[in-house]
A and B are shown apart, each in its own frame.
Chain A
Amino acid sequence: MKNSENHLSTGLRSRLLAGAAAFAALLVLSTGTASAAANCIKGDRKAPYTVGWANIYSVPTWMKQTEGTIAAEVEELKKAGLVKDLMITDAQGNAQTQIQHIQSMIDANVDAIVIIAGSSNALDRVISDACDKGIAVVNFDSLVNTDKVTAKINTDSAEWGAGAAKWLSEQLGGKGKIIVMNGPAGISVSDDRRKGAQPVLDANPGLEIITETNTEYNAAPAQEAMTSLLFANPEIDGVLSLGGAISAGSVMAFDRQGREQVPITGENARQFLELWKEKGLKGWATMQPNWLGAFSVYTAVQALEGKDVPAFIRVPLPVIDDSTIDSYLARADKFPADGYIYSDYDKALFDKLLAQ
């Protein structure tokens, strides 16, 4: 695929293509761009841009909501004349198909690709191909290994796990029998959250993990798993649930079995927040904000516009506790019943995150 004509001389351009990213950034700077260019950006792409959104799986509600924030952001950027088109793909959970989709986006010469990776390693090669073509690649939520991307955007999964474990340990006074509910096995996010919790658990030897299990980030399978755990364990003091609607499933399992609710951690699933209020739970929740999607599109466009963006943008985890839960539940009706109530976002927040 040929790059469109640009104002750089041929000699300079071939050096650009051959040179390392940092070197290229310097050259672009010398041709008159206002600030140093971000990774992958060569400066030959002009607005309005075509944005590709390579999703691994569009069916879960979290994904639909995330896609919603992306579409809304694209509408905003269209109004500003920065984006002309959004291409959306859904790999239906198949990392192999996602490779094929990203390859097609490269073939179609899109200007930016926003990705939630279906595998932390499998996309490395196709993504670095995209980067070599000067496409702004922004990866969020589920990250890839390669650093040949414009930016990676995520919250810190280890901090997620550590925060949850710390809260639970404080609730239980550092002593008690707990159950750990993990997300699916073999998935980096669930693995990282669990790993983040470990140092806190080690520091509190009074906390005894009676059992732990893996389920999908969904209420129904989590309820089923917790129900069988309840039969096997008459004495449970707390539940360290590490995400999605797993906490809601687990609370419902306690409820159905007529067991007394115990302190539980979780995520901003509307179902869980409502149960928390309804049952008067002792709860703690954080979130993977859906607007990471919107923020990724914004970042890609900023990078294409010649702004320098950090290679890794760590988004602080918003925490929901008894003092803030009401502000979330007040907005509940704007979110799907099985969806996630995310914190508010605007352009000012994005600029602040980019400036860090």
Chain B
Amino acid sequence: MSAVSSSGWLYGAIQSRRNRGLGGLYLVVAAFLVLYVVLFPGILSVGGFSKFTQNWFPLALVTMAQALLMLNGGITLAIGPLVSLGAVIAATTMGGVFGVPGGILAVALTGLGIGAVIGVIVAQLRLPAIIVTLAGSFIITGVALLLLPRPGGFIPGWLSTGLAGHTPVAFLLLVLILLLWKVFLATPLGLGIYAAGDNPIGAFRSGVPVERVKIAAFALSGLLTALAGLFVAAQTGSGDPVIGAPFTLNSIAAAVLGGVGFLGGKGTMRGAVCGSLLLSVMINVMFFLGFPPVAQYIAQGLIIVGAVAVPELLKQWRARR
């Protein structure tokens, strides 16, 4: 009994310490959300909320995919191409004999498979993830273009309306995925991702199968990314072999914005998801403020720097007190 309560206390203390580091980011995101509601009250309607969260959802997924690897001390530059490939596979298989279930399965297996292969190369051959995924990104882009040389393909209308209609299905899926992540973190494998990212040698000596954990992290990341591609295909009603390209950089930006470090073990998934929310809501807020495009480029940069600086300044201010 006492063991449980003391571990509960430890858990609470760690969580509150990790949340404190994110306080500044939460503030910034909350401020933007409030501003958005003021500028466009329609966001509070079911339809408005659904459409907004649908536009955020794929970025949230790829940010999780990226954060998952960064927490483990890795990184991937293949996010964008893999989103495209996921969309292309969904759009080319769903019209086939196995229909939608077959399409979803094909996308999921492709994501898992490609992730696992990259993971094996990185973990077993001990090559830098950044190079392997860069090379992978070229190959995946090529495959996507081979499968679907120009935008097209087929997604059933009901799937598009179901996932990206006037209902907040995408948001509920995101909540579900975050809950699954919470559960996953309670498993040895989930804990291992953090442990191996923070201190690989220590983790290895404590019995964490560091290499297997790394492969699993890449595979899961690939799965999330490909599923983001599936959602993009449903949202747009078709496949596009190059639509994912901007996600690579945005996923890294959102994760870093959310306090995930490049060196592994540092950061939280909720922070990363918050970072992606900021990147997404920022676009809408700037639109409703009527910023001209050139100002949007500048404002975007300032907001990103600001969002990283505010938590840092808060920390210093707290330390001095």
Contact size range, B = 35 or more
Tell me the residues in window 102-148 of chain B with beta carbons closer than 8 Å to chain A beta carbons.
145
A95 touches B243 (CB 8 A): yes
B246 touches A93 (CB 8 A): yes
Tell me the residues in window 46-79 of chain A with beta carbons closer than 8 Å to chain B beta carbons.
55, 58
**Interface-located stretch among B173-181, B196-204, B230-238:** B230-238
B237 touches A89 (CB 8 A): no
| Residue B51 CB within 8 A of the other chain | yes
Task: Write the nearest CB–CB distance from A65 to chain B, whole angstroms.
Answer: 15
| Residue B241 CB within 8 A of the other chain | yes
B158 contacts which chain A residues (CB < 8 A)? none
A191 contacts which chain B residues (CB < 8 A)? 149-150
| Residue B263 CB within 8 A of the other chain | no
CA distance A90 to B160 in the complex (A): 26
A120 touches B246 (CB 8 A): no
Residue ID in chain B nearest A123 by CB atoms: B236
| Residue A42 CB within 8 A of the other chain | no
Task: Write the nearest CB–CB distance from A115 to chain B, whole angstroms.
Answer: 14
Residue ID in chain A nearest B293 by CB atoms: A90
**Interface-located stretch among A12-20, A31-39, A98-106, A310-318:** A98-106
B238 touches A96 (CB 8 A): no
B156 contacts which chain A residues (CB < 8 A)? none
**Interface-located stretch among B3-11, B25-33, B64-72, B280-288:** B280-288
| Residue A278 CB within 8 A of the other chain | no
Contact residues of A: prevailing secondary structure? mixed
B232 contacts which chain A residues (CB < 8 A)? 96, 122
Given A103-B55, A124-B237, A125-B236, the answer on whether A185 and B145 have CB atoms closer than 8 Å is yes
B151 touches A121 (CB 8 A): yes
User: Quick one: which of A89, A122, A186 contacts B293, CB cutoff 8 A?
Assistant: A89
CA distance A124 to B160 in the complex (A): 11
Give B contacts to A, CB under 8 Å.
Answer: 40, 42-43, 48, 51-52, 55, 58-59, 145, 149-153, 160, 164, 232, 235-243, 245-247, 280, 283-284, 287-288, 290, 292-294, 296-297
Closest 4 CB pairs of A and B: A90-B293, A121-B238, A122-B236, A94-B246
